[in-house]
């Protein structure tokens, strides 16, 4: 099968590409960075940035070449929310993409659905030069940012899979021990870390909104309570952690895409995964 994926030059992509190849697939990887010389993909393509119609034309040019497209970029999901996803992509419905590519929209939508989101925080804005109460206002939006209350706790990512009709299939939480945008060190399969509560929460999210295919949910646990930080309607960059623990979410995603029945993993191994970068002179 020919599988196309975005962000192929990112630090997290190499292991994903190699795993797809180990499953017997031909991988077409694309990336917009001019500093990416080559990747592990069977075919590497320089793409335009994910900012508009040129990006969609680029992807549609591969509709008759690739069998399946796996998005990894939030920017491209925002475009798909406007123009619709490419015909060969496994992607959630347009309305879901509109909601879950906007942090403020998803926060309000999940709150309205009764889901435990991290509380919004009001900020008082005062003019630097003012008198009395003139020019003072309160808001939880600041220059395009959603302001949430800071919560101290343990962070989790939940890798989730739904079928094409949005039915919940499986979820596997992992603890984010060290992060740098993405997980650098993560722990999977330790049953003492609120595992079932996290799985139940993931299922509630998929019941409240219609997804299709993979989803990842960022959660923080504090004082025995769970709070959803954000939901991304795509595979997580660190989904390989779940693969290594025993749930091959990449293979399961491909099975969903081609209409094969879901097969639940037989065993989840408790593991801790550390990733590191290698240097390359270009």
The pLDDT of residue 276 is: 83
pLDDT in tens, 112-168: 999 999 887 766 666 766 655 566 656 665 556 777 778 899 999 999 999 999 999
Asked if the model's pLDDT at residue 193 lies above 70, the reply is no
The pLDDT of residue 205 is: 98
Q: pLDDT band for 258, please (50, 70, 90 cuts).
A: very high
The Cα–Cα gap between 99 and 93 comes to: 10
The pLDDT of residue 146 is: 74
Asked if the model's pLDDT at residue 238 lies above 60, the reply is yes
Dihedral of CA atoms 101, 103, 104, 106 in degrees, nearest 10, equals 70
Between the alpha carbon of residue 73 and those of residues 51, 191, 201, 216, 266, the distances in Å are: 11, 31, 24, 13, 31
* Average of per-residue pLDDT across 247-262: 98
CA pseudo-torsion sign 243, 272, 192, 176: negative
* Average of per-residue pLDDT across 58-71: 97
The pLDDT of residue 150 is: 82
Map tokens 């870390």 to a residue: 193
Which segments of the chain belong to CATH 3.40.50.20?
1-89
Burial of 266 (0-12, 13-18, 19+ CB in 10 A): exposed
Asked if the model's pLDDT at residue 3 lies above 70, the reply is yes
Which segments of the chain belong to CATH 3.30.470.20?
91-119+151-282
The pLDDT of residue 119 is: 85
CATH superfamily of the 91-119+151-282 domain: ATP-grasp fold, B domain (3.30.470.20)
CATH of domain 1-89: 3.40.50.20
The pLDDT of residue 120 is: 79
Burial of 166 (0-12, 13-18, 19+ CB in 10 A): middle
The pLDDT of residue 65 is: 97
Q: What is the pTM of this model?
A: 0.91
| Summary mean pLDDT of the chain | 90
The pLDDT of residue 175 is: 94
The pLDDT of residue 13 is: 93
């Amino acid at each position: 099968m020919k599988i196309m994926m975005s962000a192929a030059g990112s630090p997290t992509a190499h292991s994903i590409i190699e795993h797809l190849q180990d499953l017997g697939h031909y991988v077409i990887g694309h990336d917009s960075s001019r500093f990416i010389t080559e990747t592990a993909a069977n075919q590497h393509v320089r793409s335009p940035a994910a900012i508009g119609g040129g990006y969609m034309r680029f992807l549609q040019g591969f509709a008759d070449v690739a069998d399946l497209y796996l998005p990894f970029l939030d920017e491209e999901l925002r475009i798909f929310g406007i123009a619709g996803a490419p015909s060969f992509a496994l992607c959630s419905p347009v309305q879901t993409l509109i909601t879950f590519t906007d942090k403020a929209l998803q926060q309000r939508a999940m709150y309205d659905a009764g889901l435990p989101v991290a509380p919004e925080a009001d900020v008082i804005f005062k003019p630097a030069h003012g008198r009395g109460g003139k020019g003072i206002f309160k808001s939880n939006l600041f220059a395009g940012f959603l302001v949430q209350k800071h919560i101290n706790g343990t962070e989790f990512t939940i890798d989730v899979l739904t079928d094409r009709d949005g039915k919940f299939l499986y979820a596997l939480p992992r603890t984010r021990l060290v992060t740098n945008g993405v997980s650098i060190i993560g722990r999977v399969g330790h049953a003492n870390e609120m595992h079932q509560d996290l799985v139940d929460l993931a299922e509630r999210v998929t019941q409240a909104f219609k997804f299709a295919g993979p989803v990842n949910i960022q959660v923080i646990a504090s004082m025995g309570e769970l709070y959803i930080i954000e939901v991304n309607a795509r595979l997580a960059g660190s989904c390989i952690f779940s693969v290594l623990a025993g749930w091959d979410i990449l293979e399961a995603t491909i099975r969903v895409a081609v209409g094969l029945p879901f097969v639940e993993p037989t065993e989840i191994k408790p593991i801790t995964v550390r990733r590191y970068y290698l240097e390359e002179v270009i």
